[in-house]
Every structure is written in C-alpha cells, then in structure tokens.
Amino acid sequence: MSQLIDIKVPDIGDFTDVPVIEVFVKPGDIIKVDDALVTLESDKATMDVPASAAGMVKEVLVKLGDKIGEGTVVVRIEATDSGTATPAGPPAAAPAPSPASAPAPTAPAVAGGLVDVKVPDIGDFSEVPVIEVFVKPGDVVKVDDALVTLESDKATMDVPSSAAGTVKEVLVKLGDKVGEGSVIVRLESGAGSASAGVPVATAPAPAQTAIPAATASAPVSLAVAAAAPTSSDTASLPSLPLGSVIHASPGIRAYARELGVDLTQVKPSGPKNRILREDITGFVKDAMSTGIVPGRTPASTGGGNGGGLDLLPWPKVDFAKFGPIDVQPLSRIKKISGQNLSRNWAMIPAVTYHEDADITDLEAFRVQLNKESEKSGETKLTMLAFLIKACVKALQKYPEFNASLDGDNLVLKQYFNIAFAADTPNGLVVPVIKNADKKSVFDIAKESGDLAKQARDGKLKPADMQGACFTISSLGGIGGTYFAPIVNAPEVAILGVNKSAMKPVWDGKQFVPRLTLPLSLTADHRVIDGALATRFNVYLAQLLADFRRVAL
C-alpha cells in the first residue's frame, strides 16, 4: 500500500528564513533515506536537507531562492510500507478551506480538478500585507511562477505556485493581510499536482550560469546571483534614473545601510523593479571582485570620491592563449566561505600578533596520559583539546575576547563556545564545542574528534556550527611557521596554530632544546588593542607551558 509523505526541514537552529541555493530532485526521481533534497545557506554555513524516507518524488514544494525554516515541507514523496516507491494516483480530494484561516496543507486541495494554492510557511509572520498581485483569472501558470508578493517589516517574499494550471479565481487583493495557509489562488488543473511543472536541476549539476532575464511575473531565482552587474556594465550604474522611486522593503533598506550601499546604484531584479536582498549582495560581491567600491566612480571615469584611491577593475585574461588550462568550479563551501572571508577581510581592521609557547612538559604529559588511556580504553588526547581548555581560561581572564560588536555596543558573553577549523575534502568547516568551560580535556578531545569526523563525512548539523565565541585554526598536522588567520565575524579574535618544533632556548646558562608551539592571534582592533592582544597571547603561552595554571 502506497502513501504520501511530506519531508520537512528539520531543526536548523535559530534560523527562520534560510534561502534555498540548490535543489537536487525533481518529480519522478527515486530517493533513498538521507539523500540530499535541497541545500540551504545561512550567513554562517550551508546545510543539506536529507530525505527522512525513501520513495518517489511526487512534488517539489520549494524552488531556488525560497526562504524557508524548520517545519517547511520541501518534498512530497510516494512511499510504500516497505520504503520503496510505487506509482500511485493523485492525492485524495479534500474540501477547500476558508481563505482567512486555512492551515498549512500536506497536499494541494483538489476537488473536481481545482487546486488551492496557499501561503507556505513564512516564519512567525501571521498578518503580512499583499503588495503585488501578478496573476488574474484566465492566466496560465506553471509550477514556481510567482503569484503574489508579500512584504513584512523585515523582508519581501514571493508566493510561488505549487501547481500548474489555469487561474480560476484570485482570492486576495492588494492590501490584504495573509499568513501561512491562506488561499491565494484557485487553479484548474487536470492533473491536480505539481508534476507538470518545470523540472528543477538535479544533483550534482552546478547552478546554471545562463538563465533568461526576469520578467515581472517570474522573479529571478537565487541561482542567477541576483542579476548582479558584471564588471563590463558596472560603469553604467546607477541603474535607476535620478529621482525615480526606489522599491525596497524596510528590511532591504536596513541591509543596504549596514553594507554602505547606495540603493540608486543597485540593479533591481524583483518584479516591477523591486530591489531584493540578493541584488544588494550581488552588487557588493561584484564590487569586491572588480575592485570598484560601492559609492565610488570607477577609475576609468576619472575618480570622483573626494580624492580617494579608485581601484582598477579585476583583470580579464584569456589564460588558454598561454597554454593548456583546466577550468574547475569552486566547491559550494569554498564559494560561501569566500564571500564571508571577503566581507570579514574588508570590514574588520584586524591585526595579527605572534607568540611562541613552550609545550615541552605539556607534550610529555599528553603522551603519558595517552599511554595510560590505551589500557583503560579512554579517548586519546590531542593538543587541540588542551588548547581549547587553555583558551577558555584566557577568555575568562580577558572577557573582551569573548565578545561581539553590535553597533555601538559590545556584547560580553557569559558562555564559552570554542570553534575549531576542520579540513574536509570540500573545504574548511568550523564545528563548535559548546560550553567548553564545563567539560574536561578528555570530553573535549572526544567531542572534537567526533565533530571532525562528521565534518569529513559531510554529516555536520547546522547547530554544530553555531554559537561560537572564539575560533582556533590549527595547521599543526600540516606544518608552517606562522600565519595570519581572518577573524570569523561576529567574533572579535581567532587563534592560528602551526606545527610545533624543537628550538634551542637560552636558560641563562646554555641553550637547551624545547618544543615550541607557534601561536598567531588575529584580533579586531576596534575592540582589542595591541597591548591587550599581547597580554592574551603571553598568558595563553604561560598556561600551555605549565598546564597546572588552568586549574587555578
């Protein structure tokens, strides 16, 4: 016996409006448990939504660019008792709920070929005004076509069609306030399902790079990179005529102010020239890649920034004319981390401070404990576990390092969550040890080992990468002497660690061999000055030289 199963977004922490950046399945695909269905991207990490059941995909209820949260239905599948997919007819008919208070459906309501398209999960918003209506009775729509636009005090969102068909009735008008489950449009659909919709790109194909230009009735998806201006047309900005009305929600305007972006220079991609969040992000990314700073005139136009330095556009080179080349797309993790690192590098006035820690005695102690643990079966200790414990002690002594900037305020945290960079085949990810001050070195060693394995296997949960206060980036297993890590905003400092090495150290009478660990502390100079950063480094080195100090 077959059954329809809704696969929903699991717990993804405190995120409520996380954009969909990749869709891996389409109607008709056969999936297994834990197969990736879609990829979400928060401001800190990317996460795959896995299938919680096996079967055949009947309907994909999200599209590229949709912003979703915990509980949002992503895919509807047809499964059997044995967990394998078998063909089946459309869902059973259900009476159409009232437009004002209809709950979120598990399947489109179908009655005599009529399909009610409802507002999906839009977070905690319950009365969101309709600011644009894109369809009228008689229009033919496809799956994922935009029907209406809603605008809360934080964001603008399009309600896509979950089915294909002819519009029989539009049940909302401009100014109406709607919420999750409200019926927007009633369609006439012979199939009564979304299976006739436009197929979504399947994994592992990368996001398309050539997509038709958007029209007023078909908003650009996130895969288009928000129609960001290329280096060739940046000089033609501003896109909007002088004095024209800028269409952007309050949240979008606040986002632009935060990044220092003049909205008159942003090319809108939303319906009726509405500026979307992705347009601003794309504009800033293009400015960084071309060297044209938002608000400045390109160097080719002769300046205009009050005497400041105009940067030249990024060079365009045909590398193939010099010899054979192999073009490979960046991994998803590298693309997203690259955006975050570019922002952090450009916006944080960071300074790196170096210090050497004598870990001769600590390493001998660690080796001794590991020999004993072989007999007792306990977890083997790594130097990272000792580093995390020592960093907690240093954060407690210097609370400015356990803080984040929030406008003109400094948020001092009373908890101690330590992140560490983990190397994976797809790039670096940063799992977090929560409440490290309450855990022993053995507990930290076991937890960090488990998280590192999950990272390599691609099994990290979003909650495993959230809430960090301070980050450790260790290259000890690779080598190197010193390096300058980039602060992981909104943290104010990060510790870089290289491979320990034996060095001759003068003890007052002679040079003796000591095992030395290179430390590189990068700090946000807006919060931490050079004297404080050096004190932190020296204190941390003292803790590692004599680990008994951690217990004091």
Pairwise CA distance, residues 498 & 452, whole Å:
18
CB atoms within 10 A of CB 223: 19
Residues 26 and 202: beta-carbon distance below 8 Å: yes
Pairwise CA distance, residues 19 & 259, whole Å:
19
Considering only the C-alpha atoms of the chain, give the largest distance between any 2 of them, rounded to a whole number of Å: 96
For residues 403-434, one letter each, b for 16 or more C-beta atoms within 10 angstroms of the residue's C-beta and e for the rest, the string is: bbbeeeeeeeeeebbbbbbbebeebebbbbbb
Pair of tokens at residue 264 = 């008159």
Pairwise CA distance, residues 4 & 463, whole Å:
29
Angle at which helix 383-397 crosses helix 441-457, to 10 degrees, equals 110
Pairwise CA distance, residues 43 & 208, whole Å:
22
Pairwise CA distance, residues 309 & 291, whole Å:
11
Residues 69 and 12: beta-carbon distance below 8 Å: yes
Give 170-229 as a 3 state SS string.
ECCCCCCEECCCCEEEEEECCCCCHHHCCCCCCCCCCCCCCCCCCECCECCCHHHHHHCC
From the candidates 177, 413, 525, 535, which is the catalytic residue? 525
Pairwise CA distance, residues 291 & 311, whole Å:
5
Return all residues near 348 (Cβ < 8 A) that are at least 6 apart. 486, 487, 489, 524, 526
- Provide the CA 210 distance to its chain's centre, in angstroms: 23
Pair of tokens at residue 341 = 């690192």
Residues 20 and 62: beta-carbon distance below 8 Å: yes
Return all residues near 92 (Cβ < 8 A) that are at least 6 apart. none
Strand, coil or helix: 526: coil
CA-based Rg of the chain, rounded to a whole angstrom? Answer: 27
Pairwise CA distance, residues 58 & 257, whole Å:
43
Pairwise CA distance, residues 373 & 50, whole Å:
37
Pair of tokens at residue 131 = 């600011």
How does DSSP classify residue 13?
T
Pair of tokens at residue 403 = 């803080």
Q: How far is CA 128 from CA 135, 443, 481, in A?
A: 19, 47, 55
The tally of CA atoms less than 13 A away on the side-chain side of residue 340 is 21
Known catalytic membership, residue 525: yes
Pairwise CA distance, residues 417 & 432, whole Å:
6
Name the residues annotated as catalytic: 525
